[in-house]
A = this chain, B = another copy of it.
Amino acid sequence: MADEMYRNVDAAGLERLVADLFLHAGLSTADAAFMGECLVDADLRGVHSHGTRWAPRYVASIKAGHLNPNAKATVVVDRGATAIVDGDRGVGHIAVKFAMEVAIAKAKQFGNGTVGVRNNSHCGAVAYYAQQAADAGCIGFAATTGGTMIAPWGGLDRRVGLNPISWAAPTGLGFSYNLDMAPSIVAGSKIEMARDRGEAIPADWGYDADGNPTTNPSDIMPGGGTLAGVGGYKGVGLGVGADILCSILPGGRYHEGQDPTVGGGMIVQAIDIEHFQPLAEFTGRMDRMVAYYKSGRKRPGVDDVYLPGELESGRAHARVSAGIPLDQPTRASLRSAAEDAGIGYTIELPSHS
């Protein structure tokens, strides 16, 4: 049964495995441990498109010299409530987490803080960084450049970044509001996952290289097609906005058309709630808002109305003990990376069937 599509893996074991892979690739113990925690967090929340499936790819990028394992993210511009962080071409998550720590500190001092990141690489699910702010009593915003995968409105060629944005805010209910969305109908990783699994995609997800709707994920990745924006021009316009905030403002170079996977940019922002009202008052109002949302009729077959982030939070709590269902390509890729590094691969839980 080693080749079944989904198999449960132990969350703590997966976190150790990923940390060990990064440690072996040359990261510091602290950075490697953070990468284990950060990537497993996405898998726990069910966001596998940005989870541990990326670990072998990052490790390969380090080995190929594209990513700097000894990177030290530093503040290179520091002016009042704003800053620019240089990622030193490290694994992208590390610099963005650091940048949000700076933004939160500035928010606590000034009320809000905006920190741009440049010279960085793929940083995974931006929800993680917005959540840092929510956990610190702030409203968080985070966005990153993705690859140029969207055509400008009226165009056919890839020009606009597939740039996800995330907003987060705390409640008193054990989960945070946390919206993490690509400006497209789906994230690029979902196209890749469908391709890797040999599955067709809905015809409204994107276009082939000539602008025709397609159900074949390979027409888009690696076929050179484009992804459709949410609400048409609205999604494209959100992608443009994130290009400006993530790349142009911090001095990244993505917008000039170069490969964004190295030298990409991000923006993080925190607004301190206590500058507006006591935190307990804010979360109380959030809780009443959630109750109001949930007070209406539900669609047939729907068990409840969920806030963005609520289902993901509940899923994460359950998976800490029940395990994470990980797909076969991800397991195979992690096992192979572990073998290359001489690390034991003992994350799979006994099958229930």
Contacts and interface: CB of A to CB of B under 8 A. Distances in A.
Interface of A: 77, 79-82, 84, 109-114, 116, 139, 151-160, 167, 169, 177, 179, 181, 185, 211, 230-231, 233-238, 240-241, 243-245, 248-251, 255-257, 269, 271-273, 275-277, 282, 285-286, 288-289, 292-299, 302, 304-308
Contacts of A157: 295-297
Contacts of A307: 152, 240
Q: Report whether over half of chain A's contact residues are helix, strand or loop; otherwise say mixed.
A: mixed
20 contacts: A79-B275, A81-B110, A84-B276, A114-B271, A153-B305, A154-B298, A155-B296, A156-B297, A157-B295, A157-B296, A160-B293, A167-B241, A167-B244, A169-B244, A179-B234, A244-B289, A248-B282, A249-B276, A250-B276, A251-B277
Contacts of A158: 296
Contact of A112 (B82, B240, B243, B299): B82
Contacts of A238: 179, 181
A112 to B, nearest CB: 5
A84 B256 CA distance: 39
B276 A251 contact: yes
Nearest to A228: B231
B185 A231 contact: yes
A220 to B, nearest CB: 16
A286 B247 CA distance: 10
A159 B255 contact: no
A331 to B, nearest CB: 29
B243 A235 contact: no
B111 A81 contact: yes
A271 B269 CA distance: 11
Nearest to A302: B154
A30 to B, nearest CB: 29
Contact of A244 (B139, B156, B231, B269): B139
A111 B79 contact: yes
Nearest 4 Cβ contacts at the A-B interface: A157-B296, A230-B231, A82-B111, A179-B237
A159 B296 contact: yes
A304 B153 CA distance: 9
A286 to B, nearest CB: 6
A256 B299 contact: no
A298 B211 CA distance: 10
A80 B272 CA distance: 11
Contacts of A293: 152, 155, 159-160, 240
A82 to B, nearest CB: 3
A305 B152 contact: yes
Contacts of A269: 112
B235 A230 contact: yes
Given A79-B111, A112-B113, A241-B177, A155 B297 contact: yes
A27 to B, nearest CB: 29
Contact of A77 (B156, B243, B273, B276): B276
A185 B154 CA distance: 18
B240 A177 contact: yes
Among A77, A79, A179, A282, chain B packs the most CB atoms within 10 A around the CB of: A179
B298 A81 contact: no
B289 A255 contact: yes
Nearest to A158: B296
